[in-house]
Amino acid sequence: MGYVAAKGGFDAIRAAEDLVANTRLEGKSSWLDLDQIIDRLGYAVDRVMGEGGLWDETTAARAFRQAEGDVIESAHLVRAHRSTLPRFGTTDAVDVDEIDVMRRIVPAFREPPGPQLLGRTLDYTGRLLDTPDEDDARRSALEAAAARAEQPAVDVTEATSDVRVPGRLLDVLRQMDLAVDRRSNDDPEPADIARVPARPGAPRSAVLSTMARAESGALVALWYRNILGPDRNLHEVTLGEVRHGRLPVRVQHPLIDEQVEIGNVRVTEVEAIEDLDGPDEDRTKFDVGYGLTFGHNERKAIAMANLDIALTRADAGSFLEQSILMTTDGLDSSGFLEHLKLPHYVTFRSMVERKTVERKTDERPSTEAVAS
C-alpha cells in the first residue's frame, strides 16, 4: 500500500530526499570540493562529460558529486541541465589534424612518422593496490606539490610542432595507396542528434555523435559481442592512432563577424584499421574506422572506432546499425531499466485477467472444429 495514500506520494518523496541529503550534504566527512574531483577523479569527470555530451569540467564535477559517484546519474544531471539552456549557436568545425597531443601511440608501426608519445597512462604500471599510511600519503602529496611549485616547470612548448601536432597514420596509408578512400560530401553538416533523433538510415555523422555520447560500458560490451558473441561484425582490427590531446573551440564572433578561438577541449581520438577481405571489397586495401570522445577515455574511443568500421562493412541485414543507434545511450537504457521499479499494478492486473480467462476452456472459440 506504499504507493496509495493521497498525500503519501509527497511525504514519501520528501522523506527519501531527506535521507539522501543526510549523507550527501551533511555526512561525517569533510566537504568534497569541485577542484578535488576535477584533479583527483579526472577519469570520472571525463566520462561524465563524454556521456553527458557537454564539455565543462566544473559542471561535470558538480554532477558527479551530486550523484555520489554514479557516472550514469551524473551524465543524466548534465544532460537535463543542458535541456534548460537556450542554444546561442554552434561552434565552427575544426580539423582534427589540429590536435595538440599529450599522448599518441601508433600500434600499427614501430616507427611511424611523428612520435610514439606514451604520455600519461597506467597501461604499463602493475595493478597493485597502494596501501600507504593515510597520514604519510597526505604529507608526501603536500610535499611533492610544494617541491613542484619551486622547480621551474618543464617547458613543453620546446617540443617541436611536428611532435605536438603529428600527421596521422591514415594519411600515410593513403600515400601508400593502402586505404580505401571513402571521403564524400554527402553529409556536410554534422547531424545534431539532440534535435533530430538518430534512427537507422541516419548519416554517419549521427552514428558517430551517438557513439561519442554513448555509455562507455555499452560500447565496450557491443564491441566484445562483435568479437566473441553472436554478431561477429569485426575481424582483424589494428589500431592506427590512439591520441589524447587538445582541440581548439572556435565560434563566429557575433559583433565583429570573425572567427575567434574561445578555448579548447580535451578529446581522445582513435583510428582503427580493418583488413578488407569481403568478396565485394577491395582486398588489396585497408579501411579505417574513427572514434572520438570528450576527455581521456581510450576504452570508449577504441570501441567506437572499431564499431564505426564494423558498421561500414556490415551486411545489409545486420542489426549493428540499429544496435549502435538504439541501445548504447546510457540514459535510455538505464532509465528504462529502472522504470521497472515504478508501480505496474494496472497492467499486471490486465495480464492476470487474461490468464484467468484462458483457463476457462468453455469460453474458447471452436478453433478445433475445422481440424476434425
Partner 1 sequence: MTVLDVLPDAATAAVLDESSKREVRRAILTAIAIPGYQVPFGSREMPVARGWGSGGLQLTLAIVGQSDIVKVYDQGEDGGVNAANLRRLIRQSEGVNTTTDPREATVIQTRHRVPEDTLQSGQTLVLQVPVPEPLRGVERDMHELRRMHAEGDYSKMWVSLYEDLVRNGVITKTTGYPCLVGGRYVVATTPIPRWDVPPLHQAEFLSLFGAGREKRIYAIPPHTDVEPLTFDDVPFQVEEVSTPCRCGLVVPDGDRQSYQVELPQQDGSSIWACSDTDWCSRQRVGAGLLDPATLTETEVEL
Partner 2 sequence: MTVLITDQAQAAMDGAAGAALTVNGLTKHYGPILGCQDVSFNVAPGEALGIIGESGSGKSTVMRCVAGDQDASSGSAQMSSVDGGRTDVLTMAPSDRRALRVSELAVVYQDPSEGLDLAVSAGGNIADRLTAAGWRNFGQIRERAAELLDRTDVPLDRMDDPVRTYSGGMRQRVQLAKALANRPPLLLLDEPTTGLDASVAAGVLDLIRDLLEETGVAAVVVSHDFKVIEMLTRRCLVMHRGEVVEEGLTDQLLEDPQHPYSQRLVGAARG
Looking at beta carbons only, is 131 or 366 nearer to partner 1?
A: 366
Looking at beta carbons only, is 2 or 365 nearer to partner 2?
A: 365
Nearest alpha carbon to residue 324 among 198, 169, 179: 198
Rg (CA), the chain: 26
Query: Segment 147-166, which members bind partner 2 (CB under 8 A)?
Result: none
The verdict on 370 binding partner 2 (CB under 8 A) reads: yes
DSSP E strands in the chain: the ranges are 100-105, 237-252, 259-275, 286-294
Looking at beta carbons only, is 31 or 88 nearer to partner 1?
A: 88
Nearest approach in angstroms of CB 185 to partner 1 is 25
Looking at beta carbons only, is 236 or 353 nearer to partner 1?
A: 353
Nearest approach in angstroms of CB 280 to partner 2 is 8
- Angle at the Cα of 58 from the Cα atoms of 57 and 64, rounded to 5 degrees: 85
Query: Segment 330-369, which members bind partner 2 (CB under 8 A)?
Result: 365, 367, 369
Nearest approach in angstroms of CB 369 to partner 1 is 12
Report the distance separating Cα 241 and Cα 310, nearest Å: 17
Residue 66 buriedness (CB in 10 A; 0-12 / 13-18 / 19+): middle
Looking at beta carbons only, is 6 or 370 nearer to partner 2?
A: 370
Give me 271's grid cell. Answer: 583510428
Q: Which residues bind partner 1 (CB under 8 A)?
A: 3-14, 76, 79-80, 82-88, 192, 194-197, 199-201, 319, 322, 326, 331-332, 334-339, 342-347, 349-354, 356-358, 361, 363-365, 367
Contacts of 38 (CB under 8 A, 6+ apart): 45, 57, 58, 61
The verdict on 316 binding partner 2 (CB under 8 A) reads: no
Nearest approach in angstroms of CB 372 to partner 2 is 8
CA distances from residue 265 to 56, 77, 96, 245, 248 in whole angstroms, order as listed = 9, 20, 12, 8, 7
Identify what 14 binds: partner 2, partner 1, none; CB under 5 to 8 Å per kind.
Answer: partner 1
Site residues for partner 2 per CB under 8 A = 365, 367, 369-371
